[in-house]
Amino acid sequence: MANNAVLDSEKIILFNHFGAPDPNLGEPKDGFTGAEHHNVATAVYPLGTVIQVYNKTLGVAGYSQFVYGKLETQDATNVTFARCICTLHTDAVPTDFTNDNAADLASNACVIAISAMTVDYFGWFWCGGVCPEDFVSGLGGFYNCDDSVALATPALMLKDAITAGTTAGELAFAAATAGLLVVGMTLANDSAI
CA-CA-CA-CA torsion sign (78, 80, 81, 87): positive
User: Where do the DSSP E strands lie in 74-176?
Assistant: 85-88, 96-98, 110-113, 121-130, 142-145, 155-160, 171-175
Provide the whole-model pTM: 0.92
Residues 6+ apart with CB under 8 A from 1: 146, 159, 160, 161, 162, 172, 174
Q: How confident is the model at residue 135, as a pLDDT?
A: 97
Positions in the chain whose pLDDT score sits under 70: 1-3, 106-107, 147, 160-169, 193
